[in-house]
Amino acid sequence: MKAVIAGEKVDGKQTIAVLDKYSGKEIDTVPSLTPADVDRAVSAASRSAHKVAEMTAYRRREILEKVAKEVDARLADLSITLVSESGMCIRDAEFEVRRAANVLRMYAADALRLGGEWLSLDADARGAGRYGYYFRVPVGVVAAISAFNNPLALMAHKLGPASAAGNSVVFKPASFTPLAALTIASMFAEAGFPPEAMNIITGSGEVLGPPLAADPRVRVVTFTGGWEAGEKLSKVAGPKKLLMELGSNCPNIVCADADLEAAVPSLISAAYSYQGQNCLHAQRILVQESVYDKFRDEFVSRASKLRSGDPRSPSTEVGPMISEGAAMRVERWVSEAVAMGGRILIGGHRSGSFFEPTLMEHVPKDAKVSCEEVFGPVTVLSRFTKLADAIQVANETEFGLQAGIFTRSLGDAMAAVRSLRFGTVLVNESSDFRVDMMPFGGVKKSGLGREGAENALEAMTDIRMVVFDQRNPG
């Protein structure tokens, strides 16, 4: 596939091979572009920004609705593409495609809700005889840089609000998973979005990300990825708006009074869905002492039955990781934890890019699988006596995206809600739960800003204040 700059398909002198994550075979290539191409893309977006800004909200909504409808119509082929390039199991890929369409529809509806507020200026003595209001206007150019793990949902959460708010876009999908996202991004021009205003560049994030974020014509950078990459981008971006989701190390607390029949399957899904390559992955599970053994045994029994294999098969529940290198890193982290005294309850083995669903206990807090983001199918189990102790351990992380607690006690639930330092606290749900209109984002090293309809639209617009002096009508 080709990149798109200024409405034209673009090749590069070099290419990046996109591999089938199960077979390892090449399925396509995309151009490996350069900083000069970034400049061309931003120039095109800057030239055409006024065309999007001048479109009516009705027209922007109509375009997003058309793209969403086309995504739904191409469910089958987009799902197969996603399975091939990501290793995502087919049922998860189909959900991802449907989710992307629904996210675009959500932003289509919110394109009609961009408004403002009337202000009573006479609340100040200097405001007597004056009135004012503000409304929201597009920022201009939005740079959108996405990750590999949910390539379509992430794309929709970036292109959706950017276009709904009336901005032009330079979009860089992840090099591991560019194909389905490129296909959908290309639908915008076909639906009536100004062709020059939707630029899609491909290549190395290390090469393209910094010049894209640093360009002064870019007014918003929306990025999903790792902390290190996000930190580098924020340093070069300068004074502009940043929306950054930078990962997490999500804890889940299981109290003695929890409904284990509900908690165990919920947490197994949160631990091993898409091979744990998810910022909401249940990486740490803290279980109260009196139910620890029962929870552990039930979790091990159920998780041991997960079926690995070809992600195209409807019966497969665990597919390959994004690369063999990623699986080797997880293998090293698990080996380190074992050397530090950790015990493997299930899994722990790698075969190529496959890593078995793994559950560990007795893992020290300073082992990487405990304190960093593993981004793989590894979960650490530990026990606690008092809820206050569990909350303290849960908070012992530099990240703060989402946390879950399972309990029947309203008092315990509210204690967790008050004290867990995370962007979202879920009660009787795992850390992996998300509905797309939620104000999604974290604290600490998990990022800046929030996704979700109203929040993203506000970030991708500026306030224009208007003041009238009715004493001097002119």
The pLDDT assigned to 471 comes to 77
Question: From the candidates 196, 279, 373, 451, which is the catalytic residue?
Answer: 279
- Report the distance separating Cα 234 and Cα 213, nearest Å: 8
- Report the distance separating Cα 276 and Cα 317, nearest Å: 12
CA 133 from centroid of its chain's CA atoms: 34
Q: Domain map of the chain by residue range?
A: 3-247+442-466, 250-427
Neighbouring CB atoms inside 10 A of 453's CB total: 22
Question: From the candidates 70, 85, 196, 245, which is the catalytic residue?
Answer: 245
Task: Please give the radius of gyration of the chain, using alpha carbons only, rounded to the nearest integer.
Answer: 24
Token pair for 362: 């007795």
Distances (CA, A) of 278 to 127, 148, 161, 378: 51, 10, 22, 12
336 flagged as catalytic = no
The pLDDT assigned to 288 comes to 98
Q: Would you say 136 and 193 are in contact if contact means Cβ atoms under 8 Å apart?
A: no
The pLDDT assigned to 474 comes to 58
279 flagged as catalytic = yes
- Say yes or no: domain 3-247+442-466 is CATH 3.30.1450.10: no
The pLDDT assigned to 373 comes to 97
The pLDDT assigned to 473 comes to 63
Indicate the fold that domain 250-427 takes in CATH. Aldehyde Dehydrogenase; Chain A, domain 2 (3.40.309)
Instruction: Say yes or no: do domains 3-247+442-466 and 250-427 share a fold.
Output: no
pLDDT, block means (10 residues), the chain with 474 residues: 95 96 97 98 98 97 98 97 97 97 96 90 90 95 96 96 97 96 94 97 97 98 95 95 95 98 98 96 98 98 96 96 98 98 98 98 97 97 98 97 98 98 98 95 94 89 93 66
The pLDDT assigned to 454 comes to 84
Q: Which of 395, 418, 394 is nearest to 286 (CA)?
A: 394
